[in-house]
């Protein structure tokens, strides 16, 4: 290698500096730079690490610089690379959908034992977005049929791609509607990750999060508008002794409990905490 020539490590360090200068925390910038290099080159972390003293591969550019520039504008990494991992599977994502989060995997963990008790269950996923919940449940519970709804036709297009990608396109039906409006079926299990961010909290969100679709984030002044709609749909369309699994926001547990209590047809079974120990998922049963 010619003396003084830039190495892969030099290029990656320079990219981290660009992101840090744009206001991205240094640890997050390091993760982004490593992710982009691995995705573009098709390498694992070990190969990137052991190749840092070598010249940067020709395949790295111009994509790497383009992605760094987009990230410096606070575009989420998941939109830049077009993918996000959820429950061990890779999902297509785009600016039309909310980026799947690890805490939403608690819905899957809670749903699977319930579905195991009901072979052939009919499941609804309200506000499916990328289809991460609907597709994962169809993959993990192979006898269930899933109906997934969303108000966004663009989101449903992404979700359909994910269903086909993971081989469950014939077992997930997609409907362009709000929650379960106009749907006549009843369901053994309903899953939902409704918009629950309070409008007043908009300014406090990171610039990257604010790039995600507002319809999937904001739940009105108190953040409960979508939660109330899901509960209404549950009363109308969940079978007796059926289950609702729903994510909610930080600090909303008491309000969710109260909302369930206002509906005599429903019984709050339990809440589930996220990895930080904060209640984030509610498990509700419809009384028979």
Secondary element (H or E) of residue 258: helix 253-261
Q: Give the domain 83-286 fold.
A: Rossmann fold (3.40.50)
pLDDT, mean over the chain: 96
Q: What mean pLDDT comes out for the span 205-227?
A: 94
Mean pLDDT of 184-205: 95
- Would you state the structure tokens that stand for residue 229, as one six-digit string? 């709609």
Mean pLDDT of 189-213: 94
Q: What is the pLDDT of residue 288?
A: 80
pLDDT at residue number 5: 76
Q: How many degrees, rounded to 5, is the angle at CA 92 between CA 279 and CA 152?
A: 75
Say what the pLDDT of residue 1 is: 45
Q: How confident is the model at residue 211 (pLDDT cuts 50, 70, 90)?
A: very high
The residue count of the chain comes to: 288
> Scanning the structure block, which residue is given the tokens 């939902």?
192
| pLDDT at residue number 4 | 58
Using alpha carbons, select from 47, 75, 53, 63 the residue that is nearest to residue 6. 53
| Domain layout of the chain by residue ranges | 8-73, 83-286
pLDDT at 104 > cutoff 80: yes
Environment class of 5 (CB within 10 Å of its CB; exposed 0-12, middle 13-18, buried 19+): exposed
Q: Is residue 34 scored above 80 in pLDDT? A: yes
Per residue in 34-47, is it b (16+ CB within 10 Å) or e — as a string? bbbbebbbebeeee
pLDDT at residue 189 tops 80? yes
CA 286 to chain centre: 26
Give Cβ neighbours of residue 91 (< 8 Å, ≥ 6 apart): 83, 84, 85, 100, 130, 131, 132, 135, 162
Average pLDDT on 55-67 reads 97
Sign of the dihedral defined by the CA atoms of residues 125, 162, 104, 255, in that order? negative
Residues paired with residue 272 on neighbouring β-strands, in sequence order: 281
Joined together, the tokens standing for residue 129 give 């977005």
% of the chain with per-residue pLDDT over 90: 98
Tokens of 234: 């549950």
pLDDT at residue 286 in the model = 97
- Across 134-146, average pLDDT: 97
Report residue 249 as tokens. Answer: 């926001």
Structure pTM?
0.93
Q: Span 139-159, mean pLDDT?
A: 97
Decide if pLDDT at 89 tops 60: yes
């Amino acid at each position: 290698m010619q003396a003084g020539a830039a190495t892969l490590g030099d290029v990656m360090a320079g990219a981290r500096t660009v992101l840090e200068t744009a206001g991205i925390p240094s640890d997050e910038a390091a993760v982004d730079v490593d992710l982009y290099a691995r995705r573009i080159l098709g390498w694992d972390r070990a190969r990137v690490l052991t190749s840092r003293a070598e010249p940067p591969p020709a395949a790295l550019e111009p994509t790497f610089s383009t992605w760094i520039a987009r990230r410096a504008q606070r575009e989420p990494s998941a939109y830049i690379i077009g993918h996000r991992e959820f429950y061990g599977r890779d999902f297509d994502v785009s600016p039309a959908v909310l980026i799947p989060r690890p805490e939403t995997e608690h819905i899957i963990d809670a749903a699977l034992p319930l579905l195991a008790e009901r072979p052939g269950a009919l499941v609804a996923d309200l506000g499916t977005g990328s289809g991460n919940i609907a597709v994962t449940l169809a993959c993990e519970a192979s006898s269930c049929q899933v109906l997934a709804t969303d108000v966004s036709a663009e989101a449903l297009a992404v979700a359909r791609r994910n269903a086909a990608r993971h081989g469950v396109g014939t077992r997930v039906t997609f409907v362009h509607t709000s929650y379960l409006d106009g749907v006549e079926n009843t369901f053994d299990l309903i899953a939902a990750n409704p918009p629950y961010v309070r409008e007043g909290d908009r300014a406090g969100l990171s610039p990257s999060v604010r790039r995600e679709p507002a319809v999937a984030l904001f739940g009105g002044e108190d953040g409960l508008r979508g939660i109330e709609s899901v509960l209404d749909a549950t009363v109308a369309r969940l079978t007796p002794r059926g289950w609702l699994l729903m994510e909610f926001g930080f600090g909303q547990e008491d309000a969710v409990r109260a909302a369930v209590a206002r509906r005599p047809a429903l019984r709050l079974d339990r809440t589930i905490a996220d990895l930080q120990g904060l209640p984030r998922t509610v498990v509700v049963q419809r009384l028979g």
